[in-house]
Chain A
Amino acid sequence: MGAAFDTIAFKGSLCDGCGDCMTACSSAKKGASRLSIVPGASEKVFELAICRQCGDPKCAMVCPSGALAKDGGSGVIGWDADKCIDCLLCTAGCAYGGIAVDPGISRVAKCDMCDGDPACVKSCPTGALEYRKAGSIYNEYGGKEDLFVPGLSGCLGCNSELIMRHTMRKIGRNSVLATPPGCIPGMGSVGYNGKTGTKVPVFHPLLTNTASMLAGIRRHYDRIGRKDIVVMALAGDGGTADCGFHAVSGAAERGDKILYICVDNEGYMNTGMQRSGTTPYGSWTSTTPVGEHMKGKTQDAKNLPMIMAAHKCRYVATASTGYMEDLYEKLDRAVEASFEGFAYLHIYSPCPTGWRVPSSKVIEACRMSVESNFVTLWEYTPKTGIRFTRSPDNALPVSAYVKMIGKYRHLSQDQLDHIQAKVDEQVALLKVMAADSPPPPAAHRPPAGSSTPAGGETSQTSLRREISRN
């Protein structure tokens, strides 16, 4: 299995062209910036020129002196000043503008990822630049045993299957897994007609009693001294938020030591996309259809993770497969907490079939849901309270997310405004509750696309103009 590497990621839709990253790089490297924000296809759209640390680097291929080489450990393409003969062939070889001449020294310079702590990322006020550690996850877990059969019959691009495989690969065999009725057993995890789909003990609880059955299992294993077993559920939102909620709430109140993961695809997708208590306002489902007299769901979703935080569970967190590093860290903490008390992890999970999203866009939908604050990433413990693990500041308008999702395509402006208002309300409430959270990456900035206050041009806006002209 080949190694994967951490990387600097750029989200053009969040970039407002301020250029802070270039300033930070220039300052850190005491020379010209090794990345460039450049105007994109249209106004207010920017692109990033930076070394991609390619797997088969063309710069290194064309280098006649062997001055450029990919490091097997970090994945960074290093430049050896002693070997370089300043022929500049590499600058022509790279299609991404990732290596360029630093006029100050008249030699090439390129991004070295600042030893895993890039200055540009830290300086970005909008979150357009992120340092992704998913490569480390791949290296650490990619070789571990997949605990499900290869042929699970999930829909093409199923995000729940992604969650299942990642979760169990990480947690391993010393576990007992409940998969209550829904897509997760429906795709074959508990198997059919006497055959299993999972390599760990797995069962269908009733839709209504997942947490209760797990509580009984855990209590008995604790009684007989087998305290290291992870007793856990991969449950849907229906069995968690609706008819099984009494069991979840009861187990949380008693502090039963279980790991309850709710895979929230916002409805009863397995039975044909009916509405659940977590289906968002305005959403089309097969029981909140769109017609002359009804335009999708008329109520707001219940916020289950906040309800669970109100139970003072040992650990509560939200997560998204669009942010795998965050998800893995939370899985770690949730598993650990589940040996001490009730641990609840709520993973938002777009359903390509039921939400009418192309399967190729599912992860993008995950990310957009977070970038627009439609989904917020936070965690809770009784000691720390709620803490954002990704700042909700500088969010995109919620329409940027909603327009990706087919189940919202009928929304009127009024409905969109309602959703935006509810998202803002929700974030405001979370912020009040998350008083102890760390500050956002940089000072608060208005979201992209909002108008500049009248009177006086800031240096940032002038810089943006500067870049636009180039």
Chain B
Amino acid sequence: MSDVKESKSKGGKVIVCDGNEAAAWGACLSRPDMVAVYPITPQSSLVEYLAKFIAEGKMDAELMDVEGEHTVLSVLHGACLAGARTYSATSAQGLAFMFEPYFRTPGLRLPMVVSLVTRDAVSPTCVWGGQQDAMTVKEVGWIHMYCETQQEILDTIPIAYKVAEHPDVMLPVNVNHDGNYLSYGVARVELPEQELVDSFLGEKQVNWHACLDPERPMAVDPLTGGAGGAGPATFVRYRKGLCSGMQSALTVIEEAHADWGRRTGRFWSPLIEEYRMDDAEVALVTIGSMTGAAKDAVDEARLDGRKVGIVKIKTFRPFPIHRIAKALSRVKAVGVVDRAVNFGWNSGPVFQEVLAALYHLPVRIPAMSFIGGLAGADITVEHFARVVDRVNRLAAGEASSLPVWLNEND
């Protein structure tokens, strides 16, 4: 497959676009057979771009304009089982309405790609950015990758197909980008050549394992389980297989990112990105577009002589437990910044995940939860400066079991 020589940059055309258009270009270049669309803020312009690309002949895909997100994913399930590569995007309430087929997708091992333009979920009624939607579905069995920039959104979508359709994975992927900041924020984006993406992806592999085709008749998803014996045992094997696919994805995601990097010159950190962690004494953990402001804050703190670093999570499912544990193993304190709430733990959801990863270390490293950026709020460099201060105090012994709500007094 690697018939492209390594090069520093193999960029095609350069455009200026927002994150939703970048996602649409990423989908377009991946040549799905079918896209199903239904609008929801802040995703709407993304599906409008898809419809426009199809109308203008830039994209050769079936456009399914359907009556709701439940059907968005359902028509794509059908198409995928008939052999189609598929794409869609949604947010918040749309994801909630889509949940029933969404819940089913990993179990059917359908290698679909769906962008989540993350948004805070009703109620209180809110149409602005936040990651509550994506974080709420983290246990369903989809792979979740969070992007930091418009270019990364575009590049991650072909990478996501490569991962999803890998025979060791065969799982659906959500490529997530923050509503508002990335969906509407405009930046310079390089469009890879179509041939580059075609060669990177190769032949689609979507329904070799399960299909609805009169030439290969089979029952898809018979009842599995029962009171004991072979039924539940079969069910267990399906569940274990799904877990195994998830774990395989850790390697496949790294390989796919490396392959993409060799072809385009853009080497995105596949699982986590470590920023100024070499000599860091305290660390922030971030996810998504907030990381840019966090990096600025860390740079400023470094100018003051404070040794702060960042571990940015790109791949949240499967959770890169050992990478994160290793990256944080030498610091004295950790501050995890979430754009969502884990209500049951009175903290952020990423915080809980990081705590579980830290359990794998021989030493106990103190950690704190910071929650910001809800309902479209900005997490500014100043907010991160406060996080850095607080984590330094934590390293000095000033612990707290309560989360810090960054925008509470804005």
A216 touches B64 (CB 8 A): yes
Which residues on the B side are within 8 Å of A191 (C-beta)? 219, 222-223
Question: Contacts A213-B74, A220-B83; is A253 near B67 (CB within 8 Å)?
Answer: yes
B217 touches A219 (CB 8 A): no
* Residue among A196, A200, A213, A219 making CB contact with B62, cutoff 8 Å: A219
Give CA–CA (A385, B36) in the complex, Å. Answer: 32
List residues 187-223 of chain A with CB under 8 A from any CB of chain B. Answer: 190-206, 208-209, 212-221, 223
Which residues on the A side are within 8 Å of B222 (C-beta)? 190-197, 204
Give CA–CA (A217, B80) in the complex, Å. Answer: 8
A185 close to B (CB within 8 Å):
yes
Residue of chain A at shortest CB distance from B86: A216
Which residues on the A side are within 8 Å of B221 (C-beta)? 190, 203-204
Residue of chain B at shortest CB distance from A217: B78
A295 close to B (CB within 8 Å):
no
Give CA–CA (A165, B71) in the complex, Å. Answer: 29
Question: Contacts A190-B221, A216-B64; is A174 near B214 (CB within 8 Å)?
Answer: yes
Which residues on the A side are within 8 Å of B76 (C-beta)? 216
B74 touches A193 (CB 8 A): no
List residues 202-235 of chain B with CB under 8 A from any CB of chain A. Answer: 211-214, 216-226, 230-231, 234
Which residues on the B side are within 8 Å of A105 (C-beta)? none
What 0/1 readout, one digit per residue, does chain B (95-118) give for beta carbons within 8 Å of chain A?
Answer: 000001100100000000000000
Give CA–CA (A203, B213) in the complex, Å. Answer: 11
Grouping DSSP codes into helix (H, G, I), strand (E, B) and loop, the B interface class, with mixed when no group exceeds half, is mixed
B223 touches A190 (CB 8 A): yes
* Residue among B67, B82, B100, B217 making CB contact with A220, cutoff 8 Å: B82
- A231 CB to nearest chain B CB (Å): 9
Give CA–CA (A221, B64) in the complex, Å. Answer: 14
- A446 CB to nearest chain B CB (Å): 47
Which residues on the B side are within 8 Å of A217 (C-beta)? 78-79, 81-82, 212
A246 close to B (CB within 8 Å):
yes
B214 touches A173 (CB 8 A): yes
What 0/1 readout, one digit per residue, does chain A (161-198) give for beta carbons within 8 Å of chain B?
Answer: 00000000000011110000000010000111111111
Question: Contacts A185-B223, A209-B101, A220-B82; is A200 near B217 (CB within 8 Å)?
Answer: yes
A208 touches B100 (CB 8 A): yes
How many chain A residues sit at the interface, stated as a range, is 35 or more
Give CA–CA (A208, B218) in the complex, Å. Answer: 22
B34 close to A (CB within 8 Å):
yes
Question: Contacts A217-B79, A217-B212; is A193 near B71 (CB within 8 Å)?
Answer: no
Which residues on the B side are within 8 Å of A194 (C-beta)? 222, 224, 234
- A240 CB to nearest chain B CB (Å): 15
Question: Contacts A216-B34, A223-B33; is A206 near B104 (CB within 8 Å)?
Answer: yes
A249 close to B (CB within 8 Å):
yes
- B39 CB to nearest chain A CB (Å): 15
- A81 CB to nearest chain B CB (Å): 55
B68 touches A176 (CB 8 A): no
Residue of chain B at shortest CB distance from A230: B214
A246 touches B67 (CB 8 A): yes
Which residues on the B side are within 8 Å of A216 (C-beta)? 34, 36, 64, 74-80, 82, 84
- B94 CB to nearest chain A CB (Å): 14
- A167 CB to nearest chain B CB (Å): 16
- A437 CB to nearest chain B CB (Å): 32
Residue of chain B at shortest CB distance from A199: B217
B70 close to A (CB within 8 Å):
yes
Give CA–CA (A37, B76) in the complex, Å. Answer: 62
Residue numbers of A with Cβ under 8 A of B are: 173-176, 185, 190-206, 208-209, 212-221, 223-224, 229, 246-247, 249-250, 253-254
- Could you show 25 A-B contacts with beta carbons less than 8 Å apart? A174-B214, A192-B224, A192-B226, A192-B231, A195-B219, A196-B219, A199-B217, A200-B214, A203-B81, A206-B100, A206-B104, A208-B100, A209-B70, A209-B101, A212-B75, A213-B78, A213-B81, A215-B71, A217-B212, A219-B62, A220-B79, A220-B83, A246-B70, A247-B67, A250-B67
Q: Which 3 residue pairs across A and B have the least CB separation, nearest first?
A: A216-B78, A196-B219, A250-B67
Instruction: Give 6 A-B pairs besides A193-B231, A223-B33 with Cβ atoms closer than 8 angstroms.
Output: A176-B214, A193-B225, A195-B222, A202-B217, A215-B66, A215-B71
